[in-house]
Amino acid sequence: MRIAVTVGTMVLTLILASCGLTSSPQVGGGGEERQVPTGRTAATPPAQPGGPSPGVTPTGPEPTDCPNGELIPAVEIPAVHSDPVVIPEAKIGGEIIPAVTIPGVDIPAQRIPAQCTEIKPAPGGCLGAASIPPAMIPAVEIPPVEIPGVDAGGVKLEPVRTDGRKAGAKHVEGRSTPEVCQVKPKAGRLVPFVIRPFIIRPFVIRPFIIRPFIIRPSACNAQNECVPAVEVPAVEVPAVEIPSVEIPSAELKSYEVGKSEVFEGDGSIAYALEADVLFDFDSAAVKPAAAASLKRIAAQITEKAADGATVRVDGHTDARGDVAHNQPLSERRAAAVADWLATEGGLDRSLLKATGYGETKPVAPNTKPGGADDPAGRAKNRRVVISART
């Protein structure tokens, strides 16, 4: 069974999710801020050193759900057992042939633990980095076996043996793709679309192995005293497959930059407001004039957001000033908007999450091609994005 998410259904969800719908909210910077837009006996050899342990992954306890991705189900590798073969004592031609026990096979069950795909939270205007972890099927071995020979009382039988069988460990590498953001408008105020490509971790198979049955035939001496036939059954370890896992591509569509934009798509909604609408220069106090816009947004989120959905507030600044100033300013602005939405907008404070990105994610150039200051570009970069799942 392979994990695959339909590209069409996830595209806009991931778009808005990375725009801040599923990641921690962030605050837009003030002053000059820079900001981003939004029959046989089957066998399994004794536990292999270093093989996966039940309920444990290389990084900790096995997950049961994946807040930022899809659960990759565990793969169970069944135990393999074959009974020992007992050859009873026999007396032939006055000679005693001692009893022999040929060991059986006992290979414990193993488990390839469940894992999570991950799409990292991202601010508005960005699609979060996506990753699929590596996986491994442990090696397995069926030991060799031998039925001893007989040379007594006029009966001579050669030993019968068969070699063991092995299947080496099978590894599949993880896959990842980085965060992508809408950055530079093309013509005028148009912000171009961006795509995060799909990634796939291919399936991997450890083939089945089988140790064939062996038989030592019966034999009799001149006195018609006989040694009965002895058979050791075949032992098989079934094939094991780790299914392929895919994270579909996602796209953020192009849009016209304005004082306030709404991005609504499959599974999420986001609102982007220029910081100059919300705050005075270098201030984190929400202006009274911003109340109408914020109330409208709060009402729409109340109407459209899914029950219990986190409401992210992402703040951004332009590049004027230094990072030490812009980062905390963006955080204060995000917190201020989140506080306003709770106290004036009627949103549940426990669902609001504010995050500041400072000047790290611009939507437009802060300077012109020749290096001169670009006030219009910086104004686009100063903003706050409010988003939630629908």
From the list 138, 136, 161, the residue with the least C-alpha distance to 148 is: 161
Q: How many separate domains does the chain show?
A: 1
pLDDT above 80 for 41: no
Whether residue 309 lies inside any domain: the answer is: yes
Computed on alpha carbons and rounded to an integer, the radius of gyration of the chain in Å comes to: 34
Q: How many residues does the chain have?
A: 390
Mark 171-192 as b/e (b = at least 16 C-beta within 10 Å): ebeebebebbbbbebeeeeebe
Say which residue, 373 or 73, is predicted with more confidence: 73
Instruction: Note the pLDDT of residue 11.
Output: 32
Can you tell me the distance from the alpha carbon of 217 to that of 274, in angstroms, rounded to the nearest whole number?
90
CB atoms within 10 A of CB 230: 20
- pLDDT band (50, 70, 90) for residue 75: very high
Instruction: Note the pLDDT of residue 359.
Output: 86
From the list 114, 34, 27, 92, the residue with the least C-alpha distance to 224 is: 92
Whether residue 382 lies inside any domain: the answer is: yes
Domain that includes residue 268, residue range? 256-389
Instruction: Note the pLDDT of residue 63.
Output: 92
Whether residue 324 lies inside any domain: the answer is: yes
Name every residue whose Cβ is closer than 8 Å to that of residue 126 and which is 6 or more positions away in sequence. Answer: 18, 19, 36, 37, 38, 179, 180, 181, 182, 252, 361
Residue range 236-285, pLDDT digits in tens: 999 999 999 999 998 876 655 545 567 665 567 888 888 888 888 888 89
Instruction: Of 19-23, 92-96, 119-123, 230-234, give the lowest mean pLDDT range.
Output: 19-23
Whether residue 125 lies inside any domain: the answer is: no
CB atoms within 10 A of CB 290: 18
Residue range 162-184, pLDDT digits in tens: 999 999 999 999 999 999 887 65
Whether residue 212 lies inside any domain: the answer is: no
Whether residue 376 lies inside any domain: the answer is: yes
Looking up residue 262, the CATH number of its domain turns out to be 3.30.1330.60
Whether residue 327 lies inside any domain: the answer is: yes
From the list 254, 136, 129, the residue with the least C-alpha distance to 199 is: 129
Name every residue whose Cβ is closer than 8 Å to that of residue 69 and which is 6 or more positions away in sequence. Answer: 116, 117, 118, 119, 247
pTM: 0.57
